[in-house]
Amino acid sequence: MSGKTKTAFVTGASRGIGATIARRLAADGFFVGIGYRTGADRAEAVLAHIRAEGGDGVAVEVDVTSTESVKQAFASFTEKSGGLDVLVANAGVAHGQMAALITDEDMERLWQTNLAGALRTARAAIRPMLRGGAGRIVFLGSVVGLSGNAGQALYAATKAGLVGAAKSLARELAPRGILVNVVAPGLIRDG
């Protein structure tokens, strides 16, 4: 990352961990993209907080389950920001259900959001990072993806998948100056 304004895009940033990450990045001098699927008012509130603290950014609607939405969101963000230095792929859904009761709809929703969604956003982030000569991609995993948890086989599988994806992407992208990591928080209190 050069002497220009640093830029970061955070998915799922209208509340919870994502909002906290967006606020912290802004406090550290990043121009932040506050990615949200629903809750435009919450995303705008995060942006207002960032601006009140002297930072800057933009709220960007993005549905990580849609390739077209991801493409549009990243094009919009990089046009406004001038590039992309950091992606925090935080968007995700939790689901606790005994394995015998998991529906195909549950599986599709979690795969598309938690795993495929993270990979879609990483794919969109790579080109602007390559143009910039460096970058950071951070996937938000979970300790459940590392250790498992009764009643969370589906959720754990999607979060474990992020670990494998990050390891492969790190090997592919590190020679080009892009570092890839997974952060695996435990249970947190929202709010």
State the catalytic residue, choosing from 30, 31, 36, 155.
155
Return the number of other C-beta atoms located less than 10 Å from residue 69's C-beta: 15
Please list, in sequence order, all residues whose beta carbon lies within 8 angstroms of the beta carbon of residue 166, skipping any fewer than 6 positions away: 137, 139, 180, 181, 182
Please confirm, yes or no, whether 155 is among the known catalytic residues. yes
Structure tokens at 110: 């979690």
| Distance separating alpha carbons of residues 21 and 35, to the nearest angstrom | 12
First to last CA, the chain: 32
Dmax over CA atoms of the chain, in Å, equals 53
Residues with a catalytic annotation lie at 155
